[in-house]
């Protein structure tokens, strides 16, 4: 009787509508063909991504488990039963690396609890790539995820972040739903000191990628209009 467990592979995806071979290692693209089970946030986009990567299997023979912010933990453990019984499983993010600003962390945590090996694969991560390109402190940084939606609470949080970065020199990173990008910029420019450093990294790894670091005072002279493009925001002293 074979009691060997399968592994949970964390498979990065592209950050937008670009060619997988431009941002993903060839090893990842080859490895994809071995999987018959995937844990995904949305089946339609997962299938589209797999086809762009050259995945040839008939989707009618492939198992897709949906894992999003609404999925109960007890269902997630069921998604890992095939791995527990010896079948390798791939965890796909909607964009970038699984389990980073992504609900896939539920599956990873449970895999460890179930004794299933977790294998992270290399790929694009907008948070780390933005930090790399910012010129800010890469030795000491915090990722906040999303800041409060309502303007007063958001401004209060930004002021707390600025006090901390002035005291510690730590880089602070956060993201926003793209349609609220301009509101985020307005809150930052209205509440931070003029010499605080602010980086905007927009559409990372795509053809129209745009990354700029400047002081708050400099940004105020030419306020960007990002529109609905996925962006990462960074503050530093």
Element spanning 16, H or E = none
pLDDT value for 73: 82
Give the per-residue pLDDT at 39.
97
What number is the average pLDDT over the span 68-77?
89
pLDDT for the residue 119 = 98
pLDDT of residue 188: 98
Assign 1 a pLDDT band (cuts: 50, 70, 90). Answer: very low
pLDDT at 31: 96
Name residue 175's beta-bridge partners.
146, 232
pTM, full prediction: 0.90
CA pseudo-torsion sign 123, 231, 142, 92 = negative
Q: How many CB atoms lie within 10 A of CB 27?
A: 10
pLDDT of residue 79: 96
List the domain boundaries for the chain. Answer: 7-120, 126-236
Which residues, in sequence order, are CB contacts of 218 under 8 Å at separation 6+? none
* pLDDT tens, residue by residue, 123-180: 999 999 999 999 999 999 999 999 999 999 999 999 999 999 999 999 999 999 999 9
Helix (H) or strand (E) holding 154: helix 151-168
Q: Is 130 exposed, middle or buried (0-12, 13-18, 19+ CB in 10 A)?
A: buried
Q: What is the CATH number of domain 126-236?
A: 3.30.950.10
Instruction: Give the torsion through C-alpha atoms of 24, 30, 32, 33, to 10 deg.
Output: 160
pLDDT > 80? residue 112:
yes
Q: pLDDT tens for residues 21-46?
A: 999 999 999 999 999 999 999 999 99
pLDDT at 2 over 80: no
Question: CATH homologous superfamily for 7-120?
Answer: Tetrapyrrole methylase, N-terminal domain (3.40.1010.10)
């Amino acid at each position: 009787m074979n009691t060997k467990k399968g592994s949970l592979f964390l498979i990065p995806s592209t950050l937008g509508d670009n060619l997988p071979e431009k941002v993903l290692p060839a090893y990842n693209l080859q490895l994809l063909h071995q999987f018959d089970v995937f844990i995904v946030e949305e089946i339609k986009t997962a299938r589209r991504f797999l086809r762009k990567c050259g995945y040839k299997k008939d989707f009618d023979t492939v198992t897709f488990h949906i894992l999003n912010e609404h999925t109960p933990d007890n269902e997630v453990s069921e998604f890992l039963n095939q791995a527990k019984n010896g079948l390798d499983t791939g965890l796909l993010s909607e964009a970038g690396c699984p389990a980073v600003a992504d609900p896939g962390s539920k599956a990873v945590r449970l895999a460890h609890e179930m004794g299933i090996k977790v294998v992270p694969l290399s790929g694009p991560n907008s948070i780390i790539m933005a930090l790399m390109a910012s010129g800010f402190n890469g030795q000491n940084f915090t990722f906040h995820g999303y800041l409060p939606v309502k303007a007063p609470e958001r401004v209060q949080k930004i002021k707390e972040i600025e006090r901390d970065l002035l005291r510690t020199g730590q880089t602070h990173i956060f993201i926003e739903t793209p349609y609220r990008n301009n509101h985020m910029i307005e809150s930052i420019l209205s509440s931070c000191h003029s010499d605080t450093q602010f980086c905007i990294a927009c559409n990372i790894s795509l053809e129209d990628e745009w990354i700029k670091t400047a002081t708050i005072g400099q940004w105020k002279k030419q306020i960007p209009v990002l529109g609905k493009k996925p962006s990462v925001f960074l503050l530093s002293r």
